[in-house]
């Protein structure tokens, strides 16, 4: 057993003292978070395997109404040459142009305003959490007369709990590496800057004995471990910290909440399954304690405990814990059903649920901390930060949704053909984060995006074995799904991503129908080569169904451009005479080179959507003017 002589000459049992430093509630919470994250990862892998297996299957029902014409299209009477191909690289100098349509003007404003709303709500959550922990003496201030040092302690602890807000902003903004790097750099640089300000303001050095944020036993553990590392005696009296490092020290001693977003909101368990699992797991801890307290400290509970004791004797406490955990699991399951129903009824959006789960998990952490206060039910105050966050964000986003509702929905169809799943996810997530304030996105679901689109209702369908029923297996299924699309915005002002689960013999008709109903079609052709030409059906359908100004092809260095141009030229020779592009000799097909970077490409796609909706608005105004003239 490792022991170290302390300054007073007594032997310190380091493992035993470390066990006191990390109390049971913290170990239970960390262990639950780790186990649940592992379970979420396993469930995600099983879900992806199931999606892949179902997508590769064929419909077992009659394919009424799902016939796609086979063979070449009849050639035009007068030959039309191949379309002029315009390749754009939007990464050049110059900022984005101002949106022309009211829809995208609102989308741009709403996107930045929502980011500020979440930042404000996160700041309120962090401030109230820190206030509760200091109020109930979970944290203690340094024993110093310097107000600057105490202020630095408050700010540094707040900054450690504000990390959750930084994670939320990174998730909100999408996988933009440059922005995320700036967020991380700004967050980390704040602490040294605080130290420099303390030094310049003349704050005194802080002895380790006056540090605060730790009990005497905890301080003894740290000083003893420092003795082992430094190989010479280190005592609380001899160890001091300069103002330059004090903010970093205060931050590190209160940075335990960082583990929650790192475990439950990482890229390996994307979608809502990770947040869902971690929230349900953390719900078990406070709900179990609430049930136990109701049994031990209420008259009805005491009578019930007495009857249990009469039956089980010395095993009474263990039996009560089993009962409490069982009831907590039942409550958590019904909570999951409630969340899924709210999502299906459009009373909850995927992003709202994601961020609610993030901040609620941190509130549960505060609750666990307050359990060490040894006051019945006082730990429930740990949910107060989440309640105030929710009130703030809900009221602000409700106003955004009210402004979104009367504007037209700009529908985007996003098609993916080749490439890695992570690459497809990053581009789609970055585009969806901005586009969904202007309109909905339709896509054929597959394993490359299924991980990021694992929603609460799909989670329940997967667990209950009903996932296969969500696949389109007939023309009736497709008609019902298209007719049932709710194109209204969610309560947070964002439109939804409408996923279509298709089988190998139903996806073609689904894609064709979606093309006709979309305002803009973006097709990712990265990886297109002479050996990988599995997108001929989509290209020919775009040629015959969608005007070229509403089509964008996405390419990069992995795209064989000469082969793609030759393929398009060949397809143009067999165009359907009823195609909207059949009589346009100046047809121009736009391609965006993603070598410019995803942020620039996404900005350009949004500009193209704005142009489409603006032209549609001008066309509608022209038609109304002609009608008035005729009258």
Q: Which pairs from 349-354 meet CB under 8 Å and 24+ separation?
A: 349/490, 349/491, 349/492, 349/494, 349/496, 350/272, 350/455, 350/496, 351/172, 351/492, 351/494, 352/397, 352/490, 352/491, 352/492, 353/272, 353/275, 353/456, 354/171, 354/265, 354/272, 354/275
Nearest-angstrom CA–CA distance, 236 and 232: 13
pLDDT > 90 in the chain, percent: 29
Tell me which of 68-77, 125-134, 407-416 is least confident. 68-77
The CA–CA distances, whole Å, from 585 to 74, 144, 356 equal: 18, 82, 53
Q: What is the pLDDT of residues 547-556, one digit of tens each?
A: 999 999 999 9
Residues 6+ apart with CB under 8 A from 106: 403, 404, 407, 437, 438
pLDDT, greater one: 143 or 112? 112
| Residue with tokens 């408050």, as numbered in its chain | 154
3-class DSSP state of 161: helix
pLDDT, greater one: 305 or 439? 439
Give the pLDDT of residue 14. 41
Q: Which pairs from 15-19 meet CB under 8 Å and 24+ separation?
A: 17/217, 17/220, 17/221, 17/224, 18/221
> Which residues lie across from 590 on neighbouring strands?
86, 552
- Read off the pLDDT band of 412 (50, 70, 90): very high
Q: Could you tell me if 366 and 385 are in contact, meaning their C-beta atoms sit under 8 angstroms apart? A: yes
Residue 238, pLDDT > 80, answer no
> Which residues lie across from 472 on neighbouring strands?
502
Nearest-angstrom CA–CA distance, 616 and 140: 62
* Whole-prediction pTM: 0.83
- Read off the pLDDT band of 357 (50, 70, 90): confident
3-class DSSP state of 592: strand
Greatest Cα pair distance, the chain, in angstroms, is 104
Give the pLDDT of residue 59. 64
Q: What single DSSP character describes residue 523?
A: E
CA Rg value for the chain: 30
Q: Which pairs from 626-630 meet CB under 8 Å and 24+ separation?
A: none
Give the pLDDT of residue 289. 78
Give the mean pLDDT of the chain. Answer: 79
Backbone torsions φ then ψ of 127, nearest 5 degrees: -65, -45
Residue 19, pLDDT > 50, answer no
Nearest-angstrom CA–CA distance, 443 and 66: 18
User: Where is 610: in which H helix or E strand?
Assistant: helix 598-630
User: Where is 508: in which H helix or E strand?
Assistant: helix 507-517
Give the pLDDT of residue 270. 53
Tell me which of 146-150, 511-515, 582-586 is least confident. 582-586
> Which residues lie across from 444 on neighbouring strands?
500
Q: Could you tell me if 122 and 389 are in contact, meaning their C-beta atoms sit under 8 angstroms apart? A: yes
- Read off the pLDDT band of 272 (50, 70, 90): low
Residue 37, pLDDT > 70, answer no
Nearest-angstrom CA–CA distance, 514 and 532: 24
Nearest-angstrom CA–CA distance, 132 and 379: 10
Residue 16, pLDDT > 60, answer no
Residue 11, pLDDT > 60, answer no
Give the pLDDT of residue 499. 86
Q: Could you tell me if 433 and 180 are in contact, meaning their C-beta atoms sit under 8 angstroms apart? A: no
Query: What's the CA dihedral at 371, 373, 378, 384 to 10 degrees?
Result: -70
Query: What's the CA dihedral at 613, 617, 619, 625 to 10 degrees?
Result: 180
- Read off the pLDDT band of 55 (50, 70, 90): low
What mean pLDDT do residues 382-404 have?
A: 94
**Cα dihedral sign, 290-291-292-298:** positive
Nearest-angstrom CA–CA distance, 522 and 502: 19
Q: What is the pLDDT of residues 79-138, one digit of tens each?
A: 566 788 899 988 765 556 676 789 999 999 999 999 999 999 999 999 999 999 999 888
Residue 590, pLDDT > 90, answer yes
Nearest-angstrom CA–CA distance, 436 and 104: 10
**Sheet strands side by side (includes 84-88):** 84-88, 588-593, 551-555, 520-524, 412-416, 441-444, 497-502, 471-472
The CA–CA distances, whole Å, from 425 to 129, 230, 313, 421 equal: 34, 47, 57, 6
Q: Could you tell me if 532 and 502 are in contact, meaning their C-beta atoms sit under 8 angstroms apart? A: no
Give the pLDDT of residue 491. 92
pLDDT, greater one: 69 or 355? 355
Give the pLDDT of residue 318. 81
Residue 615, pLDDT > 60, answer yes
Give the pLDDT of residue 186. 94
Spatial CA neighbour of 494 closest among 260, 261, 274, 174: 174
Tell me which of 27-31, 243-247, 535-539 is least confident. 27-31
Domains of the chain: 84-97+408-630 (3.40.50)
Nearest-angstrom CA–CA distance, 433 and 171: 9
Give the pLDDT of residue 448. 59
Nearest-angstrom CA–CA distance, 360 and 364: 6
Q: Kind of pairing, strands 471-472 and 240-241? A: unpaired
**How many Cβ atoms sit within 10 Å of the Cβ of residue 77?**
6
What mean pLDDT do residues 303-321 have?
A: 82
Give the pLDDT of residue 593. 93
Give the pLDDT of residue 368. 81
Give the pLDDT of residue 15. 46
Residue 527, pLDDT > 70, answer yes
Residues 6+ apart with CB under 8 A from 565: 82, 85
Give the pLDDT of residue 326. 84
Q: What is the pLDDT of residues 447-506, one digit of tens each?
A: 656 656 667 667 767 766 777 777 888 888 888 888 888 788 999 999 999 888 888 888
Nearest-angstrom CA–CA distance, 129 and 282: 17
Residue 8, pLDDT > 60, answer no
Give the pLDDT of residue 555. 92
What mean pLDDT do residues 135-161 have?
A: 90
pLDDT > 70 in the chain, percent: 73
Give the pLDDT of residue 4. 39
Q: In whole angstroms, what separates CA 425 from the centre of its chain?
A: 12
């Amino acid at each position: 057993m490792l022991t170290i002589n302390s300054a007073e000459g007594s032997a310190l049992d380091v493992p035993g003292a470390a066990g006191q430093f990390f109390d049971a509630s913290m170990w239970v919470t960390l262990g639950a978070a780790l186990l649940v994250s592992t379970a979420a990862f396993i469930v995600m892998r099983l879900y992806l395997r199931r999606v892949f297996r179902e997508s590769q299957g064929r419909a077992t029902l009659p394919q009424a109404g799902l016939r796609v014409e086979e063979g070449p299209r009849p050639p035009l009477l007068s030959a039309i040459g191949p379309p002029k191909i315009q390749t754009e690289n939007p990464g050049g100098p110059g900022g984005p142009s101002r949106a022309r349509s009211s829809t995208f003007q609102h989308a741009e404003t709403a996107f930045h305003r929502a980011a500020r709303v979440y930042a404000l709500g996160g700041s309120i959550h962090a401030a109230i959490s820190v206030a509760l922990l200091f109020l109930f003496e979970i944290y203690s201030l340094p024993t110093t007369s310097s107000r600057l040092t105490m202020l630095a302690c408050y700010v540094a602890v707040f900054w450690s709990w504000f990390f959750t807000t930084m994670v939320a902003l990174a998730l909100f903004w999408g996988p933009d590496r440059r922005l995320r790097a700036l967020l991380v750099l700004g967050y980390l640089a704040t602490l040294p800057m605080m130290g420099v300000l303390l030094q310049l303001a003349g704050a005194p050095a802080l002895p380790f004995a006056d540090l605060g944020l730790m009990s005497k036993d905890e301080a003894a553990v740290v000083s003893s471990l420092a003795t082992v590392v430094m190989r010479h005696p280190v005592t609380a009296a001899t160890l001091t910290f300069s103002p330059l490092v004090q903010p970093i020290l205060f931050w590190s001693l209160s940075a335990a909440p960082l583990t929650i977003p790192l475990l439950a909101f990482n890229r390996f368990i994307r979608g809502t399954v990770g947040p869902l699992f971690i929230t349900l797991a953390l719900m078990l801890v406070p709900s179990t304690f609430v049930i136990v307290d109701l049994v031990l400290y209420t008259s009805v509970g005491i009578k019930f405990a007495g009857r249990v004791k009469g039956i089980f004797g010395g095993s009474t406490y263990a039996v009560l814990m089993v009962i409490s955990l069982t009831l907590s699991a039942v409550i958590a399951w019904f909570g999951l059903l409630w969340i899924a129903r709210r999502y299906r009824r459009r009373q909850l959006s995927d992003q709202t649920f994601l961020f609610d789960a993030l901040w609620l998990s941190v509130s549960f952490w505060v609750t666990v901390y307050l359990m060490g206060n040894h006051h019945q039910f006082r730990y429930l105050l740990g949910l107060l930060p989440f309640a105030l966050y929710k009130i703030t964000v809900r009221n602000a986003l409700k106003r955004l949704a009210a402004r979104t509702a009367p504007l037209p929905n700009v529908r985007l169809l996003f098609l993916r053909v080749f490439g890695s799943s992570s690459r497809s996810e990053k581009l789609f997530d970055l585009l969806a984060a901005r586009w969904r304030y202007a309109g909905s996105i339709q896509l054929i679901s597959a394993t490359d995006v299924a991980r990021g689109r694992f929603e609460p209702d799909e989670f329940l369908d997967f667990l209950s074995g009903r996932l296969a029923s969500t696949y389109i297996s007939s023309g009736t299924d497709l008609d019902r799904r298209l007719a049932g699309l709710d194109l209204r915005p969610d309560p947070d002002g964002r439109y939804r991503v409408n996923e279509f689960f298709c089988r190998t013999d139903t996806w073609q008709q689904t894609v064709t129908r979606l093309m006709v109903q979309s305002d803009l079609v973006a097709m990712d052709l990265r990886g297109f080569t002479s050996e990988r030409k599995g997108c001929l059906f989509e290209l020919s359908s775009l040629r015959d169904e969608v005007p070229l100004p509403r089509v964008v092809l996405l390419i990069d260095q992995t795209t064989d451009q000469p082969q793609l141009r030759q393929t398009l030229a060949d397809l143009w020779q067999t165009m359907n005479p009823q195609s909207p592009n059949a009589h346009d000799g100046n047809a121009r097909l736009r391609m965006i080179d993603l070598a410019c970077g995803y942020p620039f490409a996404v900005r350009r796609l949004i500009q193209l959507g704005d142009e489409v909706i603006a032209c549609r608005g001008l066309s509608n105004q022209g038609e109304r003017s002609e009608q008035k003239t005729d009258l």
